[in-house]
């Protein structure tokens, strides 16, 4: 048996030796230095990672993954625990190397850069829904799309949406009156209102979510948000094979069928309407009542070209779905939290009401574009709300090259999480950071503030393209509610549990009561 084995081994070695022809030897000679450099590079990378501030990994391979709390509501508490220990940034191993930035000074390195604009790996779970649209794309595609879409957010274009804001705000007021001043979870009310607004603004269609229509579409938007968040929170679900074996995959599949199907049908219908109008057969695009339809973002996309070529339906769907995702949930969160703060601070609420009476009088007329700049105190309330409760509590990026943050070299392969929630609470720049105080944003108090200490809409080249739209919408929604109701909050700050899903929500709902002012 040993003789047979030795003979077999000899034949194998002889066969392997015969493969070492001069070309193969030359190739090995060329690859050896490369392999040594790669090994050296990996060792340098690991040494840099080991030197970064942060908690020590408890488990081999898994790093800090098992330290991430299973309950979503405990996540911000965990991160803020480390923020208090490591101002600037800290490193976590979560399946990938993750650097959590928590100070304006450290954030400036990323936000001010034209190089580090690539989204982090966690955004990949959005791609089945949004493709590689403006939110998830990078490089040349992102630059071209951003340039193409920027004119859509010029103030002269945004002015036309004032009618949409006012109309849907009045529907919201009517729904809140129906609550009879009882304690209610306000999140669904505001979310449906902002969904109605963004659908009409983005696609030019009314889904009447506030009246109970298209609840399937509303639920699909919620479900996709849950899928995206849990794929980020559970690193093993980022693997497509593992994800396909989970129950979340079916949720995603069913949701995408509905979301993409709806968007595709709207694009197809709108394209046919525009073609009919431009052919001279039907004149302007009108609705069923013969009324001229408002121009929507979709119309801009249908008329746009990149490098001389029109956008495909797939290109258009990427951007429409992106606006639907970014344009309603974040605005909804900002409006909800502003109502919560107004309900907790009666003196602030009264000042907002007095300003509304001063600007608008006692008449229940619609707000105009000229009214909005005059509502300065309301804007301060919105800004302070966005500081305390940023709708997107963390922004993800992936470094494109080695960089230095707070004196530490960070390898270019690292993912970066810009923890906006912590940046907005940095006591160096925000004294008594947990206190709600709109006066922080008065002109005199805003002077000299670090430019990256307040970044609710991100900052730098990849700042939010729709922030003017969002602020206009929030002003109209909040003004409409405050003009009609006394707002009372029923939960104190020390009893609520924040839920940092894709946006910052409140676990179990946000309960307020709305008492009509004429009572």
Domains located in the chain, CATH noted: 62-516 (1.10.630.10)
C-alpha 115 chain-centroid distance: 20
Given pLDDT bands bounded at 50, 70 and 90, which one contains residue 37? very low
Q: What is the pLDDT of residue 2?
A: 41
Q: What is the pLDDT of residue 8?
A: 52
* Sign of the alpha-carbon dihedral angle for 185, 187, 188, 192: positive
Q: Is residue 377 a contact partner of residue 58, using CB atoms and an 8 Å limit?
A: no
Strand partners, 415: 98, 398
Q: What is the pLDDT of residue 1?
A: 44
Please report, for residues 225, 351, 449, the alpha-carbon distance to residue 442 in angstroms, rounded to integers and kept in the order given.
35, 14, 12
Rounded-to-integer distance, Cα 415 and Cα 398, Å: 4
Strands 403-405 and 408-410 turn out to be antiparallel
* Sign of the alpha-carbon dihedral angle for 125, 126, 130, 135: negative
User: At 319, phi and psi to the nearest 5?
Assistant: -75, -35
Would you give the end-to-end CA distance of the chain in angstroms? 101
Strands 415-419 and 394-398 turn out to be antiparallel
Task: Give the CA count within 13 Å in the CB-facing half-sphere of 348.
Answer: 24
Count of CB atoms situated within 10 Å of the CB of 201: 26
Q: What is the pLDDT of residue 22?
A: 65
* Residues in CB range of 461: below 8 A, 6 or more apart: 114, 117
Q: Taking CA 30 as the corner, what is the angle to CA 26 and CA 34, rounded to the nearest 5 degrees?
A: 160
Please report, for residues 68, 199, 224, 329, 504, the alpha-carbon distance to residue 217 in angstroms, rounded to integers and kept in the order given.
32, 11, 11, 14, 21
* Sign of the alpha-carbon dihedral angle for 97, 100, 105, 109: positive
Rounded-to-integer distance, Cα 266 and Cα 205, Å: 8
Higher pLDDT, 276 or 227: 227
| SS3 category, 7 | helix
User: At 304, phi and psi to the nearest 5?
Assistant: -85, 155
Residue 180 has pLDDT above 90, yes or no: yes
What's the longest Cα–Cα distance across the chain? 106
Given pLDDT bands bounded at 50, 70 and 90, which one contains residue 292? low
Q: Strands (DSSP E) along 265-329, which ranges?
A: 305-306, 309-310
Q: Give Rg (Cα) of the chain.
A: 27
Q: Strands (DSSP E) along 131-289, which ranges?
A: 184-185
Q: Exposed/middle/buried for 57, CB within 10 Å: 0-12, 13-18, 19+?
A: middle
Span 459-469, mean pLDDT?
A: 92
Residue 9 has pLDDT above 60, yes or no: no
Higher pLDDT, 21 or 92: 92
Residue 38 has pLDDT above 70, yes or no: no
Span 351-380, mean pLDDT?
A: 94
pLDDT tens-digit series, residues 138-179: 889 999 999 988 888 877 788 889 999 999 999 999 999 999
* Residues in CB range of 225: below 8 A, 6 or more apart: 329, 501, 502, 503
Q: What is the pLDDT of residue 40?
A: 41
Residue 208 has pLDDT above 70, yes or no: yes
Span 15-40, mean pLDDT?
A: 53
Q: What is the pLDDT of residue 507?
A: 85
Q: Exposed/middle/buried for 213, CB within 10 Å: 0-12, 13-18, 19+?
A: middle
Residue 27 has pLDDT above 80, yes or no: no
pTM for this prediction: 0.86
Q: Exposed/middle/buried for 97, CB within 10 Å: 0-12, 13-18, 19+?
A: buried
């Amino acid at each position: 048996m040993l003789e047979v084995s030795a003979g077999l081994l000899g034949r194998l070695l002889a066969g392997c030796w015969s493969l070492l022809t001069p070309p193969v030897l030359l190739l090995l000679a060329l690859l050896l230095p490369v392999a040594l450099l790669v090994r050296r590079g990996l060792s340098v990378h690991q040494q840099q990672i080991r030197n970064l501030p942060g908690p020590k990994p408890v488990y081999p391979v898994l790093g800090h993954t098992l330290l991430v709390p299973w309950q979503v509501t405990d996540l911000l508490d965990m991160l803020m625990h480390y923020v208090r220990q490591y101002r600037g940034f800290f490193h976590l191993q979560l399946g990938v190397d993750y650097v959590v930035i928590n100070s304006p000074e450290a954030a400036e390195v990323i936000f001010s850069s034209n190089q580090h604009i690539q989204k982090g790996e966690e955004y990949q779970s959005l791609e089945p829904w949004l493709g590689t649209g403006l939110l998830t794309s990078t490089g040349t595609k992102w630059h071209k799309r951003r340039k193409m879409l920027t004119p859509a957010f010029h103030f002269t274009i945004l002015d036309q949406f004032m009618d949409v804001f006012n109309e849907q705000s009045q529907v919201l007021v009517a729904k809140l009156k129906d609550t009879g001043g009882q304690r209610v979870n306000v999140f669904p009310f505001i979310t449906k209102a902002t969904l109605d607004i963004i659908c009409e603004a983005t696609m030019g269609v009314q889904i009447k979510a506030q009246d109970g229509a298209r609840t399937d579409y509303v639920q699909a938007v919620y479900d996709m948000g849950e899928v995206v968040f849990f794929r980020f929170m559970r690193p093993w679900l980022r693997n497509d094979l593992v994800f396909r074996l989970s129950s979340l995959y079916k949720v995603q599949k069913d949701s995408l069928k509905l979301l993409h199907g709806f968007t595709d049908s709207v694009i197809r219908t709108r394209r046919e309407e525009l073609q009919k109008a431009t052919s001279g057969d039907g004149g302007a695009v009108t609705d069923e009542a013969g009324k001229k339809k408002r121009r929507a973002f979709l119309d801009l996309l249908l008329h746009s070209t990149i490098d001389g070529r029109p956008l495909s339906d797939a290109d258009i769907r990427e951007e429409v779905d992106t606006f639907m995702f970014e344009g309603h949930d974040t605005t909804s969160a900002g409006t909800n939290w502003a109502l919560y703060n107004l309900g907790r601070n009666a003196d602030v609420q009264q000042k907002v009401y007095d300003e509304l009476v001063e600007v608008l009088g006692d008449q229940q007329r619609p707000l105009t574009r000229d009214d909005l700049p005059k509502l300065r105190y309301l804007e301060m309330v919105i800004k302070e709300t966005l500081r305390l409760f940023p709708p997107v509590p963390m922004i993800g990026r992936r470094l494109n090259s080695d960089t230095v943050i707070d004196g530490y070299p960070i390898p270019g392969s690292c993912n970066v999480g810009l923890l906006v929630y912590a940046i907005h609470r940095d006591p160096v720049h925000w004294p008594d950071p947990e206190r709600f105080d709109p006066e922080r944003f008065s002109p005199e108090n805003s002077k000299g503030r670090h430019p990256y200490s307040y970044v609710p809409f991100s900052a730098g080249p990849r700042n939010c393209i729709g922030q003017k739209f969002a602020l206009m919408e929030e002003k109209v929604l909040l003004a409409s509610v405050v003009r009609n109701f006394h707002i009372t909050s029923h939960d104190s700050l020390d009893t609520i549990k924040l839920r940092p899903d894709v946006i910052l929500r409140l676990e179990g709902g946000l309960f307020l009561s709305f008492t009509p002012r004429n009572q």
